[in-house]
């Protein structure tokens, strides 16, 4: 399965904020939207970084609760690994395993066109496994 197929099902919606937004506002956004990461963009919408719930935990432990008043740009991961619409789920899983992260923004022609989380991948893998099991059961029952 490709990234394009996943995006067709889940949509192209990506939660983005600019780097001057505070970590508290990001925590609020993650909680409201029930997501694990937000992509940081500049005024033109170009990708600048990513902040996940793990960054919030790390920053609070390192600097105390006052870290929540700090702008995201001081705490975001700047070197963001991205994927493209033509990548496969297997490639995404490899990328997440090697990079030890659970979110991959999808970039096409320099533009942010979606995001895939490990939750999206697990959901599709379970659906695929169930379809295979059903097909196998039908095959055995028909013989
Ligand atoms: P996550 O597992 O996605 O919560 O992220 C774990 C750590 O990796 C955090 O420090 C994130 O900022 C960072 N991170 C998340 N996604 C990416 C990505 N696609 N590229 C680089 N770093 C990332």
Looking up residue 79, the CATH number of its domain turns out to be 3.10.580.10
Render pLDDT for 72-116 as a digit per residue (tens, 0 to 9): 999 999 999 999 999 999 999 999 999 999 999 999 998 999 999
* Ligand 1 atom with the shortest distance to the CA of 51: 12
Residues 6+ apart with CB under 8 A from 34: none
Q: What range defines the domain where residue 85 resides?
A: 3-142
- The predicted model scores a pTM of 0.92
The position carrying tokens 């508290």 is 24
Q: How many structural domains is the chain composed of?
A: 1
* pLDDT confidence band for 128 (50 / 70 / 90): confident
Strand partners for 77: 50
Which protein residues are within 6 Å of ligand 1, measured from CB? Answer: 36-37, 50-55, 77, 80-81, 99, 101-104
Query: 23: burial class by Cβ within 10 Å (0-12, 13-18, 19+)?
Result: buried
45-73 as b/e: b if 16+ CB within 10 A: eebbbbbbbebbeebbeeeeeebbeebbe
Residues 6+ apart with CB under 8 A from 77: 49, 50, 51, 52, 55
pLDDT of residue 88: 94
| Whether residue 22 has pLDDT greater than 90 | yes
50, 95, 117: residue to mutate for ligand 1 pocket, most atoms within 8 A of CB? 50
Average pLDDT (10-39) is 97
Helices and strands counted in the chain (H then E): 5, 5
Render pLDDT for 52-73 as a digit per residue (tens, 0 to 9): 999 999 999 999 999 999 999 9
Distance 119 CA to ligand 1 centre (A): 14
The position carrying tokens 């659970």 is 102
| Whether residue 1 has pLDDT greater than 90 | no
Distance 66 CA to ligand 1 centre (A): 22
The position carrying tokens 């600019």 is 18
pLDDT of residue 125: 87
Query: 122: burial class by Cβ within 10 Å (0-12, 13-18, 19+)?
Result: exposed
| Top-confidence residue, 124 or 87 | 87
pLDDT of residue 58: 97
Distance CA 83, CA 98 (A): 14
């Amino acid at each position: 399965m490709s990234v394009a197929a996943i995006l067709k099902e889940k949509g192209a919606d990506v939660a983005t904020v600019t780097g001057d937004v505070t970590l508290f506002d990001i925590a609020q956004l993650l909680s409201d939207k029930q997501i694990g990461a937000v992509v940081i963009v500049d005024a033109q919408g170009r990708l600048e970084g990513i902040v996940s719930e793990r960054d919030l935990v790390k920053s609070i432990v390192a600097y105390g609760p006052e870290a929540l008043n700090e702008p995201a740009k001081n705490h975001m991961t700047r070197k963001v690994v991205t994927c493209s619409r033509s990548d496969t789920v297997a490639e995404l899983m490899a990328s997440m395993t090697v990079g030890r992260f659970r979110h991959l923004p999808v970039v096409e022609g320099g533009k942010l066109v979606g995001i895939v989380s490990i939750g999206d991948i697990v959901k599709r893998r379970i659906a695929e496994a169930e379809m295979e099991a059903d097909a196998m059961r039908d095959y055995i029952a028909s013989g």
